[in-house]
Amino acid sequence: MNKRNWKKIGLGLLASGVVLGLAACGNSSDSAGGSDSGSSGDKTTVDIFQFKVEFKDQFEELAKKYEEENPDVKINVETVGGGSDYGAALKSKFSSGNEPDIFNIGGPEDVDMWIDSLTDLSETKAADQALEGTLTGATKDGKVLGLPYNIEGYGVLYNKEIFEKAGIDAEAITTLTDLEDAAKTLEKKKDELGIDAPFALAAKEQWITGLQGSNAFLNAEFDNDVMKAFEADKVEFTYGDQFKKYIDISNKYSVQPTNSLDYSQQVEQLFSNGKVAMTQQGNWVYTTIEDIDEELATENIGLLPIPIDGVTEGTIPVGVPMYWGVNPNGSDEEVQAAKDFLDYLYTSDEGKQIVLEDFKFVPAYEGYDTDKISDPLSKDVYTYYTEGKTTGWVFMGYPSGWGEQTLGAQIQKYVAGEASWEEVLKTSQDKWAAERK
């Protein structure tokens, strides 16, 4: 993969404290290797606190392999994500004095929040090989304060076999009207198709609606530029009517009640078991689906657009989900060991192979054979990108907590019939303006 300009792809991502449950999902809080910091005998210990549940097992295996090749280093991995609030858990870690050596941050909001706990990574090999633009969301005053996890994309995940049985041409779906027509067809045929509903809207997960869902309609308002969102004093909801239409489609044709649907029910119980034909998710869910139904995962899933009709038709949002930060408050040996581990992960031949084949990442770095991207969802993301059919991720530029705690919570009221759409937008606009004063 050659260097490409990712500045218009968003770059930021995820919100401080926010989500951090975001792109990773599921409910998990697990550790490997304990949490002792500092040195263990003659070993330098690197404690990693990360959010991506989907590759927890593979990441722990990587850590063990690294320890075997570097016997003077001990790697501890702790994972908290999904239904658990990673942002709150990270704050708790630091306030308890049990500070990790490597942890996750989102874009500009998180950089400002954690500025005193972030090491300048500008001179690392990984920073040097990062694709152009992918460092923007974690760079301040010329210093690279975070290294990108990977590149991810999301849209409306769909079951190809169910679509085929229903006579729906997925490639012809480029607008919200097209998506609505598909939902209507699936609704009429749901008994013969053996599905509970066309859609699964996991409105219980506020990041799904308030962060990722809203981003698809706010990216054009902020010109696909996370920094414009970060610096904006107000939000207009220029395409709020289309955002409403998308939420209405997702909710009306969903398994009910949507406010009770969480990530596990959405992805594991409903979509992976063929009980619904569509749900909003991204390529990070591939391994979860594969564990439940390998045939479905490898042969029958794909991504549909979340478009703004007449503006961003046929597109999916693509960006960097999170960054790795290195804590400067440890010993010199711990800081260097943390940098070395991240360089190994993204720039060594062995690390690259693991990133592509085991983590199933779309890499955010040069020097990868992208022909080896192995899962169909990641291939879809890469295809959308190479064909220029992507929009940005600007939600990391939202005020801290706004996407979930304000907008996501208001959407829960809306789908429950407790608030009008106008009230959702007005409350969210007022909160944005108040946070930016």
Residues 113-145 have pLDDT tens digits of: 999 999 999 999 999 999 888 898 899 999 999
Q: What is the pTM of this model?
A: 0.80
pLDDT band for 21, please (50, 70, 90 cuts). very low
The Cβ of residue 232 has, within 10 Å, a number of other Cβ atoms equal to 20
What structural domains and CATH numbers belong to the chain? 44-151+320-367 (3.40.190.10), 153-319+393-436 (3.40.190.10)
pLDDT band for 227, please (50, 70, 90 cuts). confident
pLDDT band for 34, please (50, 70, 90 cuts). very low
- Separation between Cα atoms, residue 335 and residue 112, nearest integer Å: 20
pLDDT band for 83, please (50, 70, 90 cuts). low
Residue pair 427/45 in contact (Cβ under 8 Å)? The answer is no
- Specify which residues 45 forms β-bridges with: 74
Residue pair 306/317 in contact (Cβ under 8 Å)? The answer is yes
400-to-7, 195, 210 alpha-carbon distances in Å:
22, 38, 12
Residues 254-265 have pLDDT tens digits of: 999 999 999 999
Q: Report the range of poorest mean pLDDT among 155-159, 175-179, 269-273, 396-400.
A: 396-400
Task: Assess whether pLDDT exceeds 80 at residue 158.
Answer: yes
- Separation between Cα atoms, residue 270 and residue 278, nearest integer Å: 10
**Tokens standing for residue 299:** 């042969």
**Tokens standing for residue 401:** 């907590």
Task: Assess whether pLDDT exceeds 50 at residue 85.
Answer: yes
Task: Assess whether pLDDT exceeds 60 at residue 13.
Answer: no
Mean pLDDT value of segment 389-416: 94
Looking at every residue in the chain, the average pLDDT score rounds to 89
Mean pLDDT value of segment 160-172: 98
- Separation between Cα atoms, residue 413 and residue 418, nearest integer Å: 5
The per-residue pLDDT for 89 is: 92
For 53-69, the DSSP string reads GGGHHHHHHHHHHHHHH
CA dihedral in degrees (91, 94, 98, 104; nearest 10)? Answer: 70
Task: Assess whether pLDDT exceeds 50 at residue 2.
Answer: no
